[in-house]
Amino acid sequence: MSVTQVPAVEAFYHALTGAYAYLAYDPRTREGVIIDPVLDFDRRSGVVETVAAEQMLARIRELQLQIPMILETHAHADHLSAAAYMKDALGCQVATGAGVCQVQITAAHMFDLEPGFATDGSQFERLWNAGECFRVSAIACSVVATPGHTPDSVTYLIGDCAFVGDTLFLPYLGTARCDFPGASAADLYDSIRKLYRLPDATRVMVGHDYPQASGDAAYCSDLSSEKQANTHLSAATKREDFIAFREDRDRTLPLPELFFFALQVNVRAGRFPAEAANGTRQLHVPLHLPEQWPG
């Protein structure tokens, strides 16, 4: 029996957050996975919608795909995950890197989460350790730990594709920031170097694009292009130069608009906190007051 090594991939662009979600599936058996699904959230009104998730679900029905698992590349800080919503719709599992426990501990402290909030990753059905292997139907897959942008970032190798989350962007965009709690420019350099040892033809599926007004968003590159032309970290870039560049750049960046909201939801595998006493669901913003604030 021949083994299919090339998944069919469809990308779903979420214009409000510049994020990509993916379907990757074995075209012969129609079994596949969802990667990094996005929930619609308006921070001004608190309105949550599922337009993007429903668009993916409609495509899954149209293609008649079986989806046993949703894969998160990391605890995103720029968009809310639709993993829980899609898990309920599809009856599947949600998986992420085991490093999410570190992000949960950070979030529990940052948001003073309820005493029962679990920081052992048990909100997810599956926690991947570095190097673990799995299959999407006949397609061989593995998990590469790629910390740096966040401590829990992983890259999923699915056939000839690397779903890198925010570890690498398209060559013109470079790399993601490394200033969130537990992030490290040094770790990101080492993670990207690890990816650069994969075959040059590996397709790179990125987590974001931010096209100019006139341009279309793009999602796919390959390792040869990244090594030659990644504007922040090419094959020729020295470790100390990248770290200095990344840290200087990160000092100039404001937090993502949805940072607080996204973290509180994403460390719960895409669920919201329980209802408050008044029957509403709430997300919190920790304040940073001047030192001598009067009471």
By CB under 5 A, residue 166 contacts Fe ion: yes
Pick between residue 74 and residue 159 the one whose CB is nearest to Fe ion.
74
Site string for Fe ion, 71-90 (x = CB under 5 A): -----x--------------
Site string for Fe ion, 219-248 (x = CB under 5 A): ------------------------------
By CB under 5 A, residue 208 contacts Fe ion: no
Instruction: Please state the three-class secondary structure of the chain as a single string.
Output: CCCCCCCEEEEEEECCCCEEEEEEEECCCCEEEEECCEEEEECCCCEEECHHHHHHHHHHHHHCCEEEEEECCCCCCCCEECHHHHHHHHCCEEEEECCHHHHHHHHHHHCCCCCCCCCCCCCCCEEECCCCEEEECCEEEEEEECCCCCCCCEEEEECCEEEEECCCCCCCCCCCCCCCCCCCHHHHHHHHHHHHCCCCCCEEEECECCCCCCCCCCCEEEHHHHHHHCCCCCCCCCHHHHHHHHHHHHCCCCCCCCHHHHHHHHCCCCCCCCCCCCCCCCCCCCCCCCCCCCC
How many residues lie near Fe ion (CB under 5 A)? 2
Least Å distance between CB 166 and Fe ion?
Answer: 4
Pick between residue 31 and residue 166 the one whose CB is nearest to Fe ion.
166
By CB under 5 A, residue 177 contacts Fe ion: no
Tell me the residue number closest to Fe ion, measured at CB: 166
Pick between residue 152 and residue 166 the one whose CB is nearest to Fe ion.
166
Least Å distance between CB 218 and Fe ion?
Answer: 18
Pick between residue 76 and residue 227 the one whose CB is nearest to Fe ion.
76
Pick between residue 76 and residue 203 the one whose CB is nearest to Fe ion.
76
* Binding piece for Fe ion, criterion CB under 5 A, among 14-22, 164-172, 252-260, 281-289: 164-172
Pick between residue 14 and residue 65 the one whose CB is nearest to Fe ion.
14
* Binding piece for Fe ion, criterion CB under 5 A, among 52-60, 70-78, 233-241, 260-268: 70-78
Task: Residue count of the chain, please give it.
Answer: 295
CB-based contact 163:71 (threshold 8 Å): yes
* Binding piece for Fe ion, criterion CB under 5 A, among 161-169, 209-217, 232-240, 270-278: 161-169
Q: Which residues bind Fe ion (CB under 5 A)?
A: 76, 166
